[in-house]
Structure 1
Amino acid sequence: MSAIVDFLNNIFWGYILIYGLLAVGLFFTIRLGFIQFRYFGEMFRCVLGSRESDKDGISPFQALTVSLASRVGTGNIAGVAVALTLGGPGAIFWMWMVALVGMATAYAESTLAQLYKTHGPDGMYRGGPAAYIARGLGQPWLASVFSVALILSFGLIFNAVQANSIAEAAATPIETMLVGSGMFEATPEGTAAAFTAAKAIIGAVVAVLAGIIIFGGIPQIARVAEFVVPFMAGLYLLAAIIALVMNIDRVPGILSGIVLNAFGLQETVGGVAGSVTAAMMNGIKRGLFSNEAGMGSAPNIAAVATPAPHHPSSQGFVQALGVFIDTILVCTATATMILLADVIPSAELTGVNLTQAALGDHFGNLGQIFVAVAIFFFAFTSIIGNYSYAENAVVYLGAGKGGIMMLRVAVMGMVVWGAIQAVGTVFSFADASMGLMATINLVAIVLLSGTVLVLTRDYIRQRKEGRNPVFVVADHPEIAPGVDKTIWTANNG
């Protein structure tokens, strides 16, 4: 089984997706007229246009924060550090490039998710890639395959991985307390047992906290994300700004060095070296994993939003901004704090340890504690964000309330399991599952790119006329099949 999974991952991530995601991003960037650059301000207008939601959906701002809850995870802390270690500072430049073209992909997939959404059995808006694959392409069987792959990867295994990150970061102090209390002997065997017990305790606590939120459904997840995500991301960016100000004289050299290193014109930046090939491959991979553009994940929550203005494209703009925030802001914050610190990445000092060492250099012990706290919040919010995607997939498969209940229990179980176990092998299975869903999604959005173009031109035309864009599906019979005509009417706008 491991051999099969490794073979699939080599195909998906070594060939199809690395080039496919970039190619699709460039395709939509060009076909939509560089929309992510020309209409960057529209993204903020669509996010802030309405903080309210109707009874059937969540607000655009809530949809953005839930998608960021999933996007901004431990990879933004540990993954960026690994990219720097393996690829050098130039990897950050290629992360930027992936994000900039990925914004167009994110716009396209979330616009389609809005267009093909329907009312679920609970009355709430439901949709996502499964909806536009089934109703837009007329391939319900392929939509079912996509949904199963999403549930396995985002709903279950990735949540175990996030729980493992929390447990590894927080288990040591609890282990010390358990040994000090006399519950475990102060021997290597006793310490190892205490460490395992500490991770089990952490897993149980995280599972209970996650359960309190996910049993409230997507509206509850949205309310939590709306508060926690801006707070945690804001604090993290504030720490980066302080580090930049403290080292302001070095900032121009670091930023220019990132660009020069990406093309082999400067060998080292901030004491970190890397080759052009390593920079490109590691930066592209890290960027794709982090911002999820084209993966088919964020469209699941984009479909639940009540867009403002009432047009599918407005939610596309919102999710394009999510890619920008995740990579251009949060990932760059991690990279600059590392490059400005007096630390050198190595095989021994990488991942979370490298980021902790960097913040420790900037802020002392407080910096190391801050990283541990950030890991908890980034990982925890990823768990609830990932769950929201999986719930949409369960609804599409027709599992009903019973299926949703089973998913919630399974997520809590995977959190406990992931906190205790090494998740390397299972993580490879999740990579294969995500590779399958991403491949299906990329093919779907390219085949439906004509529909995206029609929606985009309709939105921009109304903006240029000085109107608040409203999509009326009756005016576009060429894309009407499969669209819920009761949602996209002039009266709803």
Structure 2
Amino acid sequence: MEQLIAAINGLLWGKILIYLLLFAGAYFTLRFGFIQIRHFGHMFSVLKNSRQADAAGISSFQALCTSLAARVGTGNLAGVAVALYLGGPGAIFWMWLIAIIGMATAFAESTLAQLYKVKDDDGNYRGGPAYYMELGLGARWMGVLFSLCLLLAFGLVFNAVQANSISAAMQVAFNIPSWGTGLAIVIAAGLIIFGGIRAIARFAELVVPFMALIYLLIALVVVMMNIGELPGIISLIVKSAFGLEQAGGGAVGFAISQAMMNGIKRGLFSNEAGMGSAPNAAATATPYPPHPASQGYVQMLGVFMDTIVICTCTASIILVSGQFEPGSGITGIELTQRALSAEVGGWGNTFIAIAILFFAFTSIVANYMYAENNLIFLEHNHKAGLTLFRICVLAMVMFGAMGELPVVWAMADASMGIMALINLVAILLLSGVAVKLAKDYNRQLDAGKLPTFDLNDYPELKGKVVEGIWDNNAQKPQEPSKS
């Protein structure tokens, strides 16, 4: 069984997905005319007016924080260290590059999620890949398969993995027994997830900016303490990315391939562009400007924040610390802890343990939201089923905190791989719609108008977009909220 799952993961992640994700990123970058570069500043302009919500949707800012809560996990602390150890400093360059092209993929999937969103029985917006597969492609079977894979991976197993990381960190740093950590996580997570989508969004809105800002400030302090080394480190990253640090031709080729593969994988796994996860949060927002593409801009910013900002913080701490030693066997979270402690003293270990607590706990809550979204797609808001699923999620959190089962983790990787494969096929098939929406938004923006989506301009979408969601009177342009 283990060998079969390992073979499936090797095929999916080693042979198919990494190239398909690269292709999708490059394809959407070209189709959108390098939108992530041309309109880089506009992402922040949209964010300025992103705090307003309505009775049906959360705010765009809350949707961004929720998607960041899921993206920013232990991988930002441990995964970057692994990429550095296996691929060398050049892996960071390729991590940056894949994030930049992945921003275009994130724009496409989040724009489509907004367009094809629906309202559940309680009047809340729901949407995501499963919904645009059913409504946009008329392929509910794809949506069902996608949802089942997401429920297994994000709803159950990945939450157990995050709980395991928290438990291990608390035991090492504070000698707290795993059962005690597990119980605390279950109680805290239960209070939030039983509050529903708005409680999750409010939690993410409060915690995510705080944890990201603190981590960024710590990284900046470490870099400023070693500011004289910064030009040399940047040079090292660029040279290593193209094998310029190696002497022989064979060594150059191997070094480049290792840097590329590890940097690209780290970037793809971290920012989740194309995976089909973040669109579940994007669809629940009431966007401003009232156009599906505005949420595409917000979620592009999420990819930038995760990889270009937070992953780079971890890489910077490690590289300026002098603790990075290829071949030493010290990698993962241990390398990050050693690096920070070498710069700021013994409290660096404690800080990393607390950072893991925040990063991993927010991932648990946001992952649950993604899963709830897809359970509602399958069950059409069946209340008893939703309660039972919440209990199962909390049980998996407790299980993860107290032990680990490698086969289960491997199954989750396979499940996420299938999920990503289905989503990439869907957004490539719907790419024409996404491009039309981007052009419509930018045409209005260039004319000095507030971009507003009018379904009457798209007769080919009538019958595919749910009635009442994007009608002219459904979302009238309003002045941005001051809050």
TM-score bin, normalised by smaller chain: over 0.9
Pairing 1:193-272 to 2, within 5 Å after superposition: 198-267=177-246
1:378 paired residue number: 359
Q: Which runs of 4+ in 1 moved over 4 A?
A: none
The SS at the match of 1:470 is coil
User: Deviations for 1:407-447, whole angstroms, at most 9, x for unmatched residues?
Assistant: 21111101100011124221110000000010000000000
The SS at the match of 2:366 is helix
* C-alpha deviation, 1:155, in angstroms: 0.5
The one-letter code matched in structure 1 to 2:14 is G
* C-alpha deviation, 1:54, in angstroms: 0.2
1:181 paired residue number: none
| Alignment check: 8 A CA contact 1:313 1:455 kept | yes
1:470 paired residue number: 452
* C-alpha deviation, 1:26, in angstroms: 0.2
| Distance across 2 between alignment mates of 1:317 and 1:481 | 26
The SS at the match of 1:33 is coil
Query: 205-214 or 393-402, which moves further after superposition?
Result: 393-402
TM score, norm. by length of structure 2? 0.95
The one-letter code matched in structure 2 to 1:26 is A
Pairing 1:37-52 to 2, within 5 Å after superposition: 37-52=37-52
| Alignment check: 8 A CA contact 1:149 1:433 kept | yes
Pairing 1:388-407 to 2, within 5 Å after superposition: 388-398=369-379, 400-407=382-389
The one-letter code matched in structure 1 to 2:396 is M
Query: 39-48 or 230-239, which moves further after superposition?
Result: 39-48
Query: 297-306 or 361-370, which moves further after superposition?
Result: 361-370
The one-letter code matched in structure 2 to 1:260 is K
1:127 paired residue number: 127
* C-alpha deviation, 1:173, in angstroms: 5.2
| Alignment check: 8 A CA contact 1:136 1:481 kept | no
Q: Is residue 314 of structure 2 the alignment partner of residue 330 of structure 1?
A: no
Identity across matched positions, percent: 56
The one-letter code matched in structure 1 to 2:88 is G
* C-alpha deviation, 1:43, in angstroms: 1.1
The SS at the match of 1:416 is helix
1:425 paired residue number: 407
2:479 paired residue number: none
The one-letter code matched in structure 1 to 2:421 is T
Q: Is residue 33 of structure 2 the alignment partner of residue 16 of structure 1?
A: no
Residue 367 of structure 1 is aligned with which of 348, 354, 358?
Answer: 348
Query: 420-429 or 214-223, which moves further after superposition?
Result: 420-429
1:487 paired residue number: 469
* C-alpha deviation, 1:490, in angstroms: 2.6
- Segments of structure 1 that go 5 or more residues without pairing to the other structure are 178-197
1:168 paired residue number: 168
* C-alpha deviation, 1:267, in angstroms: 4.5
| Distance across 2 between alignment mates of 1:412 and 1:204 | 9
1:287 paired residue number: 267
| Distance across 1 between alignment mates of 2:264 and 2:393 | 30
Residue 411 of structure 1 is aligned with which of 386, 389, 393?
Answer: 393
User: Deviations for 1:164-211, whole angstroms, at most 9, x for unmatched residues?
Assistant: 000111113554x7xxxxxxxxxxxxxxxxxxxx11111111111111
The one-letter code matched in structure 2 to 1:170 is M
| Alignment check: 8 A CA contact 1:107 1:313 kept | yes
1:137 paired residue number: 137
**Alignment root-mean-square deviation, CA:** 1.4
1:356 paired residue number: 337
* C-alpha deviation, 1:349, in angstroms: 1.3
| Alignment check: 8 A CA contact 2:173 2:353 kept | no
TM score, norm. by length of structure 1? 0.93
* C-alpha deviation, 1:314, in angstroms: 0.4
The one-letter code matched in structure 2 to 1:204 is L
| Distance across 2 between alignment mates of 1:481 and 1:99 | 35
Residue 291 of structure 2 is aligned with which of 289, 297, 311?
Answer: 311
| Alignment check: 8 A CA contact 2:173 2:350 kept | no
Pairing 1:68-107 to 2, within 5 Å after superposition: 68-107=68-107
* C-alpha deviation, 1:347, in angstroms: 4.9
- Segments of structure 2 that go 5 or more residues without pairing to the other structure are 477-483
Change (3 A) 1:288 1:50: closer
User: Deviations for 1:274-328, whole angstroms, at most 9, x for unmatched residues?
Assistant: 9211111111111110000000000001000000010000001111100000000
2:320 paired residue number: 340
Aligned residues: 468
1:152 paired residue number: 152
| Alignment check: 8 A CA contact 2:90 2:239 kept | yes
| Distance across 1 between alignment mates of 2:363 and 2:152 | 15
Q: Is residue 56 of structure 2 the alignment partner of residue 56 of structure 1?
A: yes
* C-alpha deviation, 1:9, in angstroms: 0.6
Residue 299 of structure 1 is aligned with which of 267, 279, 284?
Answer: 279
The SS at the match of 2:227 is coil
User: Deviations for 1:244-281, whole angstroms, at most 9, x for unmatched residues?
Assistant: 1111111011112101100001249xxxx992111111
The one-letter code matched in structure 2 to 1:130 is A
| Alignment check: 8 A CA contact 2:126 2:284 kept | yes
* C-alpha deviation, 1:362, in angstroms: 0.9
The SS at the match of 1:437 is helix
The one-letter code matched in structure 1 to 2:198 is P
